[in-house]
Amino acid sequence: MIIGLGANPLEGYKELLVGAFGGTEELAESAAKAMPLLLVGTGICVAFRAKVINIGGEGQIIAGGLLSTITALAVPGLPSIVLIPLVLSMGLVGGAIWGGIPGALKAYLGVNEILSTIMLNLVAVQLFNYLLRAPLMDPKQIELGTRIPQTRRLSENADLPVLISGTRLHLGVVVALLAAAVAWFFLWRTTTGYRVRAVGASAPAARYAGMPVKRMTMLALTISGALCGLAGAALVFGSETHRLQTEGFATGFTGSAGFNGIVAALFGGLHPLFTIPSSFLFGGLLVGANAMQRAIQIPVALVIGLNGLIVVFVVSSNSMRERFSRTMSIAGEAAEHEVATADAVVPPVPSPSGALTGGDDSPSRADPESEP
């Protein structure tokens, strides 16, 4: 692709890697970029374990960002030790609401979750635009007549602490890592997580075992939405502007994390812990793409093409691996059948005592020594 754009691919990838992982500042920037991808990707992993597909990450990020922002505007005077956990919790609640709606529609009405989550993305964007152009707009913008769709500067007590001075690495990265670990513990170390996975493995079998299939389906999408909403809160209070603003569409706020998180989850094998390095890789690609564009004038959109190719290869490799496993299983069964058939046709041979024994050299009941 780089050659087709008239540039040197070796130079391009060198600039991409150095721009993403070449130093402390670059690593911090990649980690900050990976933070929303990890939270969304972890949510995708939880939903997939119940065999539901969440395409509504963009809307759930917006819902979490909106509710956390409204909370910060309502109680700006609270101390940081209270306000930061509060706004992050409200991000979880906002995303959970936006994920629980398609979860309930799927579980109790049979509505396809892919369609409902995509459509709710559009609803979230329109609600986002309305609130920032009217009720939540910065009063100074109204006074000046500029009417830029953004809130006033949010309380400094709600700002996520920066972990390394001079970088954008903030507390949200740590929160994302903890969320991935908690999701793994939930899925593989709790009874409810086992039920979620059982429903995904076989809903009829889980129902026969007495598990609440509908409730687990709704719970999986609710948790998935909550993690996406947490990403929205972290994007608001970890940003450099420390205010919520819109450009009229979701990407200006989310950075397409709702969709890129799906790619990170797929590349991580839909496992919360493996999604951690996967998210860091894709965060680095997004950061390094800017360096590559500056160096050899290759558009950042190239990375979007790479993401699409990665999805194709990952899905194809899964299909090929399953096909290979089935082939090996069939070959193994055929070999066992041949061995069993060969054993069945082995003629009896006389033993030293004159009795007849089978092909397995086991003593015949005609042999006196074999009697108890």
Virtual CA dihedral for 17, 23, 29, 33, nearest 10 degrees? 40
Q: What is the pLDDT of residue 18?
A: 92
pLDDT tier at 42, thresholds 50, 70, 90: very high
pLDDT tier at 359, thresholds 50, 70, 90: very low
Average pLDDT over residues 237-255: 86
Query: What are 310-357's pLDDT values in tens digits?
Result: 878 887 887 788 888 888 888 777 777 777 776 666 555 555 555 555
Highest mean pLDDT among 129-138, 222-231, 289-298: 222-231
Q: How far is CA 101 from CA 39, 78, 111, 114, 129, in A?
A: 19, 31, 11, 12, 21
CA distance 68 to 49: 28
Contact 224, 40 (CB under 8 A): no
What secondary structure letter does DSSP report for 364? P
CA distance 224 to 204: 23
CB atoms under 10 Å from CB of 287, counted, come to 23
The DSSP code sequence of 294-306 is HHH---THHHHHH
CA distance 16 to 306: 13
CA distance 110 to 39: 27
Residue 162 above 50 pLDDT?
yes
Least confident of 172-176, 198-202, 217-221, 367-371: 367-371
Hey, is 39 helix, strand or coil? helix
Query: What are 43-66's pLDDT values in tens digits?
Result: 999 999 999 999 999 999 999 999
pLDDT > 70: percent of the chain: 92
Average pLDDT over residues 118-140: 92
Q: What is the pLDDT of residue 334?
A: 76
CA distance 306 to 314: 12
Residue 266 φ then ψ, to 5°: -65, -45
CA distance 228 to 243: 19
Q: How far is CA 29 from CA 35, 88, 174, 211, in A?
A: 10, 21, 14, 44
Q: What is the pLDDT of residue 368?
A: 46
Top pLDDT among 59 and 246 is at 59
Average pLDDT over residues 90-115: 96
| Nearest-5° Cα angle at 75, 78 to 235 | 90
Q: What is the pLDDT of residue 248?
A: 79
Residue 163 above 80 pLDDT?
yes
Q: What is the pLDDT of residue 351?
A: 56
Name 356's bridge partners.
Answer: 350
Average pLDDT, the chain: 88
Q: What is the pLDDT of residue 343?
A: 65
Least confident of 12-21, 63-72, 214-223: 12-21
| Nearest-5° Cα angle at 66, 81 to 167 | 55
Residue 155 φ then ψ, to 5°: -55, 135
CA distance 164 to 217: 40
Query: What are 62-71's pLDDT values in tens digits?
Result: 999 999 999 9
Q: What is the pLDDT of residue 345?
A: 61
Average pLDDT over residues 177-203: 96
pTM: 0.85
pLDDT tier at 152, thresholds 50, 70, 90: very high
